[in-house]
């Protein structure tokens, strides 16, 4: 997997101060995408063990709330193969940090075992190890800059642990607090 950028002390992509990893590769190609250069799976630099270590170190300070993974598309099957073990490492080494993923795939698509475009042997493990999923493609016609942590009205900010526990979509307070 390649990545396009790493932002430390990011406050735009999730609750609190975060480190954000922008992975490369996306097949959605949403009209009006703010990060279209990351559609190319070969864009950027290789995601190496050294890059992982750098991100882990950036997450250590107490003022950093957690990690956000976006892109590109972290939930492309080929990216899941790298994202899954990285998330496990973050959970192991820094259990108090929250993990957010932004995906153009919906919760329903990701949970559909027959959807080979985005569901793999890694998908459920990733979902079980994250705190928030911002799901759904960016829809230019529904763009709304007043929304918290999402770009268009169709996107949802999902509390993943509560959703898994209840079996129904539970929206995160972070995306909808006035």
* Entry pTM: 0.96
User: Band of the pLDDT at 177, cuts 50, 70, 90?
Assistant: low
Closest CA to 101 of 21, 2, 7, 24: 21
User: Band of the pLDDT at 35, cuts 50, 70, 90?
Assistant: confident
Closest CA to 159 of 175, 137, 138, 136: 175
């Amino acid at each position: 997997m390649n990545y396009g950028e790493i932002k430390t002390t990011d406050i735009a992509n999730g609750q609190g101060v975060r480190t954000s990893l922008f992975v490369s590769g996306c097949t959605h190609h949403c009209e009006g995408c703010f990060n279209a250069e990351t559609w190319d799976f070969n864009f950027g630099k290789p995601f190496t063990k050294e890059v992982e270590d750098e991100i882990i170190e950036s997450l250590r300070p107490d003022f950093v709330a957690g990690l956000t993974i976006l892109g590109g598309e972290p939930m492309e099957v080929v990216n899941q193969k790298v994202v899954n073990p990285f998330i496990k490492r973050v959970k192991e080494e820094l259990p108090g940090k929250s993990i957010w993923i932004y995906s153009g795939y919906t919760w329903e698509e990701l949970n559909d075992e027959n959807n080979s475009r985005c569901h793999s042997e890694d998908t459920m493990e990733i979902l079980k190890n994250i705190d928030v999923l911002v799901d759904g493609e960016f829809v230019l016609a529904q763009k709304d800059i007043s929304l918290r942590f999402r770009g268009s009205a169709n996107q949802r900010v999902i509390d993943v642990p509560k959703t898994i526990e209840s079996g129904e979509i539970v929206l995160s307070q972070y995306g909808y607090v006035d």
